[in-house]
Amino acid sequence: MQRVQPLRDTHPQFSTFKTPSYHEFKLENWKLAGDGSGKVIRPHPELYLALGIPVLAWLYQRLAGGLQYVGLAVGLWLLGQSVFLNVSHESLVVYPPHGVQVETHRGFRNCIFSSSRTFIPFTVLQDIVVNEGLYGWNVRYYIVALTRPRNSDTVLKVVFPNLLPHFPILKIVYNEIQMYLPQNKTESAQ
Amino acid sequence: MLPTTIFWPLQEDVRAPGVCYGWASPTKVCVAGRFAEDVDLETARTRIRALRLDQHIQPAVLDLPDLDTCIIVQYQRYPSKSLRFYDIDNDSLAYSAGLDRSLISQLNLAHQIHSLVNGETVKLHKPTAAVLLRLAATVLRPALTLVYSLRLSFLTQLLPRSAVGKQLQTRANQVGSLLRGIDGLSTTSLTTGIPEYAQKYTAFFNELWLILNDITLGVAFGTFLRDNAQYLASTHLLDDLEAALTWLDSWPAGLKLNTELSRFYSRAFISLVHYWGGFLTRHVFDHTALLITFCGYASIIGGLSLLIALFIDILAFIVTPHITLCYRVACGVYSLEKAALGGLWALFRGKRYNALRNRMDTWDYDIDQLLFGTMLFTLLTFLSPTTMVYYFLFALARLVSLLIHASLEVCLAFMNHFPLFMLMLKVKDPSRIPDNICLLPSPDAAGNVLLLMVCGLPMFYAADWCTSAL
């Protein structure tokens, strides 16, 4: 039971971990450089903090009166957002008899500030599909869980909403998750 | 073949010996509790059978499979008097091999079954709440019944647009639901569902808290009003409007209006305003202090919401009817002129409106029709700035009065239906208003143990409570 990286050469930030009770697809918030050199590109919120505080102090001196506090508040909010709300990793965890859970963890790699988890039981989950969305001039693919709570309209829940990985990762997640979904199991049993 | 899932309460040790009881199904087992070590199987069975509950919640003695081959999900068996519980979305698909609503209701019942099996009483609320409920049942109930019996249901038919009538009816409905709540919360059976009870509890105390807030603020404002009976400056509305009309008559901001028409308009509207002002001066202004004192007493008895409702009614019926009337007149003239201009513009271009087909058709007008139409068009075009200016003045005045009316109504809605209790619970004890659960791998134990936790509440859930109270 070890963490496996299915796409080690191109997308090593994606890893899976399988135990008898759950199967986790984890996506971390870094990537390899696009030129094939193998360099790792990480977001550095500490840099924002280091650069932002002198800028804030300079602005504070320059602005007049009440505008100082407004500027300070706005600057602190932006800084705080980039540091504390920085996504560390997102995952999709399948608990085979029960349901799937979409998680977003914010903070740094060693110190997670907050985790938000949404559990979707199989009684509410209709299907998991890879959908395409228009993003500016591009087409981006994303995995979405179709849920139907309370016999009302279908509600879509996007998996990996902040990181939005590219298609090779989505293909692996989609293929591996199909064997856990109950409607596929009943079809194969028949 | 999926391994069986066992839901185990955190309060019981997984590996300790002893007979367990709970609910079992082919793929999942929910353990409600465990007997002491010295209790053997037959005694256990007898004690469980003695419970004699309904069939769908009757537990049974469990024959657990080998714990190493199963998935163990540990959950917090919340004591029933803490009113904490689990909740997930309503499920609609017929799949029940895993977590679904029936399992969640078993988790919520676990502590009550545990208390029943061990012979303890099942308490559904904390001691302070019990005292409050007893107080409500003995002291408040007669007062509330009296108030409820006084509800004047004919008022709303009499004054359909009156805010005071609506507020009195809302207050009567609240009192009615409080009475029903006292009954509902005091009579509980041994296996009342915690989620429904918690919902009723929250709704009851929310309404009680809102009404108490209302009355407290009402007493404060009411004594203030009663002691200083000075009034809102209603003369300003009349004087300012008259001054504005006179200003419009005399080339406002250099805009040269048609003299005769402008004079006619300003005189007509000023006479309307004078008429209303005369009515007010003769009948209302002498009794303004009395009116304010009446508002004060109404606020002390009925609360701040009744005071706000009275302000809304005073605004609508005493302070602004002349603005509304002038607005309607100016609006009528303006719309008539706009329609006329539209039709004449069509004539100018050689078209006619076909009412049957709802479109513009080209039409051959006679020369005298064209001449007359052109003359009228020119007339109306040069008169239109005047009508437009007067219309905009009254539209602006009406907009301001509508804005004040709307903000007062929003305040009223806040006083009557704000989810104060839910907000306090969100800060103090979020497990009492659960939205969803989440599963975590257990940090200390082996790979087959998971933890079940309650997840937070998104704010739109509070809006649900809001609309259901409305």
Domain extent listing, chain A: 3-40+86-189, 44-84
d(CA A10, CA B225): 75
How close is the nearest chain A Cα to the Cα of B74, in Å?
Answer: 13
Interface test with A, best of B7, B28, B88 (most A CBs within 10 A): B88
Which chain A residues are Cβ-neighbours of B430 within 8 angstroms? none
Mean pLDDT by 10 residues, chain A (190 residues): 85 90 91 81 76 78 76 81 86 90 89 88 90 90 88 87 92 93 63
Q: Which member of A93, A101, A122 has the closest CB to residue B98?
A: A122
Q: Which member of B97, B100, B436 has the closest CB to residue A118?
A: B436
d(CA A40, CA A29): 11
Those residues with Cβ within 8 angstroms of residue A113's Cβ, 6 or more apart along the chain or in another chain: A84, A106, A107
- Are residues A143 and A178 in contact, defined by beta-carbon separation less than 8 angstroms? no
Dihedral angle over CA of B193, B199, B205, B210, nearest 10: -170
Q: Which of residues 420-439 of B touch A (CB under 8 A)?
A: 436-439
Which chain B residues are Cβ-neighbours of A123 within 8 angstroms? 91-93, 95-96, 98-101
How close is the nearest chain A Cα to the Cα of B31, in Å?
Answer: 17
CATH class of this structure's domain A3-40+86-189: mainly beta
Mean pLDDT by 10 residues, chain B (470 residues): 83 84 87 85 85 82 82 88 84 70 87 85 74 77 74 65 84 86 78 84 90 92 76 58 81 78 88 86 77 85 90 86 90 94 91 91 92 93 90 92 94 92 89 86 72 60 38
pLDDT tens, A19-67? 888 899 999 998 888 777 778 888 777 777 777 778 778 777 777 777 7
How close is the nearest chain B Cα to the Cα of A47, in Å?
Answer: 32
- Are residues B449 and B439 in contact, defined by beta-carbon separation less than 8 angstroms? no
Which chain B residues are Cβ-neighbours of A124 within 8 angstroms? 88-93
d(CA B71, CA B25): 14
Beta bridge partners of A117: A103
No. of H helices and E strands in chain A? 4, 10
CB contact under 8 A, B101 and A124: no
CB contact under 8 A, B93 and A126: yes
How close is the nearest chain B Cα to the Cα of A58, in Å?
Answer: 37
d(CA B113, CA B118): 9
* Long-range contacts from B139-143, C-beta under 8 angstroms, 24+ separation: B140/B178, B140/B182, B141/B179, B141/B182
- Are residues B48 and B21 in contact, defined by beta-carbon separation less than 8 angstroms? yes
d(CA A175, CA A94): 13
Instruction: Provide the ipTM.
Output: 0.81
Burial B222-237 (b: 16+ CB within 10 A, else e): beebbeeeeeeebeeb
CB contact under 8 A, A21 and B2: no
Exposure of B56 by Cβ count < 10 A (0-12 exposed, 13-18 middle, 19+ buried)?
exposed
Helix (H) or strand (E) holding A157: strand A155-158
Beta bridge partners of B407: none
